[in-house]
Chain A
Amino acid sequence: MKRRDFLKLGGIVAAASAVTPASSLLYAGKTTTSAIKYGLVIDLTKCDGCGECATACRIANNVATSPDNEKINNYWLRIARVKSKFPNSHEQAIPLMCMHCDNAPCVHVCPVKASFVRKDGIVMIDKHRCIGCRYCMIACPYKARSFVFKHNEGFSNPDVPKTMHGVVEKCDFCVTRIDSGRMPVCVESCKKGVMSFGNLFDPESQVSRLISSGKVHRVREDLHLGAKVYYLGL
């Protein structure tokens, strides 16, 4: 092999090795090797929209609230009321929170990787890294995220961190409770047994059994985000 050809070949190899990881970084799907992937199934046929889960969520997670200005009230979980546009249609109460997408747009757009998908599928925010640019709030199709508009003094639950002015917050499936072997507070607080939380990879879990019934749907499945909050009777 001539010296020139050798150099050429070396150059091609170097260029290819530089391009390959770069292209894989831009690729959307990422497979995790974790044996756990958490998901939530919400049985809308049982939900009457009492809103106890929303209240419990607000207290348990120190969600930033502003009683005097409704527009900057933050929500990790909210009850939406949905009905068709025809007269006399039934109004369905639907609890909405972060859908914990596998292909989360908020994680894609975050310039500092403050938003991330944990190995067990929970989408989280590192509030000590978030710069407060709010690009994730623009990108999220579920309006799951809220910005903390002002400094909040008190906190209702000392077990989880306080809110921080200037960063974005959202539902994290009550990650501190999960990590200590408990259920998310919305699941626990519901007296009608609307919500089931568990490991989607475990074939024996309640969530897998409900999902395998084939009757579940997710919100905006057309966006292909791999949301992990499923609804029965949507």
Chain B
Amino acid sequence: MKIYWTTINGKSLGMYFLLGVLAILAAAGLYATYAMFSQGHYITGMNNQIPWGLPIVVAIYCIGLSAGSLVLSALSAVFGQKEFKPFARIAVFVAALFLVGSLLSIVLDWGRPDRVMLPFLYLNPRSIFSWNGFLYSSYIFICIVYLWAMFTGRDGWIKPMGILAVCWAVGVHSGTGAIFGFINARELYHSPLASPTFVVAALSSGTALMILIIVSTFKATGRFLDNRLITGLAKLLGSFIMVVLYFVIVEYIVRLYTPSTCEPTRFVLFGGNLYTYIFWVGLILLGSIVPAIILFNPITKNSIPWISFASLLVVIGVFCERLIFVLPGQIFPLNLFPDMEMTSSFMDGQITWYQVSLPEIAQGLGILSIVAILYIIGLKLFALLPTEARHLEHEL
């Protein structure tokens, strides 16, 4: 089957309206960032006990989203699932965009973003951040070369580039998990499972987001989309959710069992605080169990609205997973004197809550809006979308 690739028209009233809303959000985000630097970072929710807040959550969430979309493209190029070829270009493009979004979120979270080139000048081979600076930037480059190979019809390049991109994606996401997993000081970070959990959660959220993006883009631009392609992706998503759930269960059971990590783990799982609800309701119930029921139930598993709903839940559920990943490890105090009670004027030994601030929310939404604007511009400039997405059996 020959696939014809086209750009979008992009001149409808709805499109202008959408672009206008996104531009306002992006401007608000940039203004919030400016305010952080001109007034000071005290206007954010972070403090000396919680140095990493929402921007880091958004950053690692965006990195995760980029993985799953790349895998979608690799399905046809590397794993021989030829029926997914209509999504190949859009998937790589979205992967690169979300990486741009995450880099924006990381750099704008720094105290001194004007020193953005320094990590490239002074590499520290023991720093995971240094590795990630290299991995993220080269990952964007690989995505661009991969897209170029697809656009110029260099079929010989596509498979090697696809394999390289998949390997790189595993490195990028393991590296992101390692930011937390390598930290010995914090009981809720230090874990060899952090990297693998990050990879599978990335696959799950990325696949879910791609389902949402594909269904909405094809519908909005009036292109034919074969239901069987989406149900195929939904099957994949169902298995990813199960793997994430398994990894989370293993991680938390080990932590509960170990006396030194039991207390902070109980704080998250049974503390009756906001993070308890995010864990049980957001991640476990709405993020894993409900979508799994939808995706494995014979009545709903072939219905596009149900699959889209499940995908939306997964996208939210993985965001909850990221929150649980980043925040409770800082909210729960460091254990300087085990089995002792400790107090000081520097918030030692006491739980300090993270109160998310308006500038941080505006910045996060602004960055996501920039990603969306770039996506629409990309669709308009480059022939990323097929005229129609049919399952291969149609031509037989």
Contact partner of B347 (CB less than 8 A), chosen from A66, A71, A79, A113, is A71
B186 to chain A, nearest CB (A): 7
Sorted nearest first, the 5 A-B pairs with minimum C-beta distance are A132-B111, A150-B40, A166-B111, A141-B185, A111-B129
The answer to the question of A167 belonging to the interface, with a C-beta cut-off of 8 Å to chain B, is yes
A1 part of interface (Cβ distance < 8 Å): no
A187 to chain B, nearest CB (A): 20
Decide if B336 touches A141 in the complex (CB within 8 Å). yes
The stretch that binds A, out of B9-17, B63-71, B117-125, B238-246, is B117-125
Which A150-209 residues have C-beta < 8 A from chain B? 150-151, 165-168
Min CB gap A55→B, angstroms: 12
Name the distance in Å between B81's Cβ and chain A's nearest Cβ: 36
Q: B171 within 8 Å of A by Cβ?
A: no
Q: Mark B91-121, 1 if CB is under 8 A from A, else 0.
A: 0000000000000001001111101101101
A81, B342: Cα distance in complex, Å? 6
By the criterion CB–CB under 8 Å, are B48 and A131 in contact?
no
List 5 A–B pairs whose Cβ atoms lie within 8 Å, in order of A's numbering: A80-B348, A84-B340, A111-B122, A113-B122, A134-B51
Bound form: Cα–Cα A71–B345 in Å: 10
Interface residue ranges of B132-164 to A (CB < 8 Å): 133
A82 adjacent to chain B (CB < 8 Å): yes
Docked-complex contact A166 and B37, CB < 8 angstroms: yes
Residues in A neighbouring B49, C-beta threshold 8 A = 71, 143
Q: Check B41–A149 contact: CB distance below 8 A.
A: yes
How would you classify the secondary structure of chain B's contact residues: helix, strand, loop or mixed? loop
Mask, A118-155, CB within 8 Å of B = 1, is 00000000000111111101111111011111110000
Interface check A18, CB cutoff 8 A: no
Q: Which residues does chain B contribute within 8 Å of A137, judged by CB atoms?
A: 48, 51
The smallest C-beta distance from B24 to any residue of chain A, in angstroms, reads 28
A111-B111 contact, Cβ under 8 Å, with A140-B185, A142-B336: no
CB–CB A138/B37 < 8 A: no
